[in-house]
Amino acid sequence: MSDELRARLRALLSFPAELPRFDPDAVPGEPQTLFLEWLDEAVRAGVLAPHAATLATSDASGPSARVLILKDVGESGWQIATPADSRPGHAMAASGRAALTFFWPALARQVRVEGEVRRASDAEAAADFLARPAEARATALVGRPRPVLEGDAEYAAARAEALARVSETEGTVPESWALWSIVPGTVEFWQAAHDRAHVRLRYRADGAGWVRERLWP
């Protein structure tokens, strides 16, 4: 990297001029409620894809991360969907652990969810899959027959066949489709500050309840 580009990177603005206030002493007793409040504020602030999160897993090959979409959040945890035969699917099934990170730069906020992974029932996974647009279902039905794609023509043919299957049989669901809940052991809320005195609040599961802890910036 050139010195000029390095200097330009360092000069880039990270957050808007006005940042929301976060009082860690005035928060609900459990993290799901605070997360939904922050998510709603991100939606109202016009954040693009506020429901997008980075899923982090680890397997024998090492750590891996990808961005996907939050499906639901509640007492059962933070819910996501990805095929059981995908790399993150294999990793979650094997380790039983995963993490999610949400980042909303327009609000200078970040939420980290870490915990146990539980796979939902086939009926719940099927309901999630069938709620998707036809194009998304077709893409999932194509799957990944081989790790390496030969070219655009190969994929176009496979996807056209999948679209036809979706049109002909709307109830088709891939056997590998899976819905996962990340049941948190910890949930951390991070609010940035221009002076770098960031506010960090962690909820830590303790029996049937939660312990709230301030963390150093």
Full-model pTM = 0.92
> pLDDT tens digit string along 84-100?
999 999 999 999 999 99
Q: How far is CA 50 from the centre of its chain?
A: 10
Express as a percent the part of the chain with pLDDT over 90.
74
Asked if the model's pLDDT at residue 147 lies above 80, the reply is no
Torsion, Cα 87 92 98 100, to 10 degrees, reads 50
What percentage of the chain reaches a pLDDT higher than 70? 100
Could you give the CA distance from residue 144 to residue 149 in angstroms, rounded to a whole number? 9
The residues spanned by each domain of the chain are 18-120+178-215, 131-175
pLDDT tens, residue by residue, 151-207 = 888 888 888 888 888 888 778 898 999 999 999 999 999 999 999 999 999 999 999
Q: Which CATH architecture has domain 18-120+178-215?
A: Roll (2.30)
Token readout for 103 is: 């980042």
Cite the beta strand spans of 60-208 per DSSP E.
62-69, 72-74, 77-81, 97-104, 109-119, 179-191, 199-206
First to last CA, the chain: 29
